[in-house]
C-alpha cells in the first residue's frame, strides 16, 4: 500500500529533528505503524563530511544508524491504533552491521519493519542500501514516555 505524497509528507512531521540533523529527505513507502522506506541524498555540503574524511568524504556509519532510527521513528509514530509515543528516542542498537558507506551524490535507501511493540518500547529491523549495495542491517529499539 502506498499512501499519496501528502500523507507521506505529513508522516515526516513526526521527526523532531532540526534540518541540520535530519537524515531522511522523503518517504517512498509507508504502512503506518508497520513498515516504511525512505531516502537520504548525501549532498556533499554537510559539515561533518569536511572531517570524515578530508579529500575522501564518506557518510559516517553512526549516522547510517541515526538515519535508520529516524525512519523507524516515523513508522512507529504513525500507528493509528496506538498513537504517537511522547519523547520517542533511540535507546538501543542490536546486531547492527555496517558493511559500507555512501559518498556525496549517492542516495541512501532506508527500510524499517516494526518487529514488536511492548508498552513504550518499539523494536525495529532496519536496513540501508545504495543501489543494490547493502550498507547497514540490524535492529534498533526506540522508547518513549508511557501513555496513560
Cβ(134)–Cβ(84) under 8 Å? no
Question: Catalytic pick from 14, 34, 52, 117?
Answer: 52
**17 a catalytic residue:** no
Question: In 84-114, which positions are buried (b, 16+ CB within 10 angstroms) versus exposed (e)?
Answer: ebeebebeeeeebebeebbeeebebbbbbbb
Put the strands of the sheet holding 89-98 in their side by side order. 26-31, 35-41, 107-118, 121-130, 133-143, 89-98
Active site residues: 52
Amino acid at each position: 500500500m502506498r499512501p499519496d505524497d501528502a500523507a507521506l509528507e505529513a508522516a515526516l512531521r513526526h521527526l523532531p529533528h532540526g534540518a541540520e540533523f535530519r537524515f531522511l529527505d522523503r518517504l517512498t513507502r509507508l504502512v503506518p505503524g508497520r513498515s516504511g522506506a525512505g531516502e537520504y541524498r548525501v549532498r556533499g555540503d554537510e559539515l561533518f563530511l569536511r572531517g570524515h574524511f578530508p579529500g575522501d568524504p564518506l557518510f559516517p556509519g553512526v549516522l547510517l544508524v541515526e538515519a535508520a532510527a529516524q525512519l523507524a521513528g516515523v513508522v512507529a509514530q504513525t500507528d493509528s491504533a496506538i498513537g504517537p509515543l511522547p519523547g520517542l528516542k533511540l535507546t538501543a542498537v542490536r546486531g547492527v552491521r555496517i558493511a559500507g558507506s555512501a559518498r556525496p551524490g549517492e542516495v541512501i535507501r532506508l527500510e524499517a519493519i516494526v518487529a514488536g511493540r511492548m508498552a513504550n518500547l518499539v523494536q525495529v529491523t532496519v536496513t540501508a542500501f545504495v543501489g543494490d549495495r547493502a550498507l547497514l542491517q540490524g535492529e534498533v529499539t526506540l522508547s518513549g514516555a508511557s501513555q496513560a
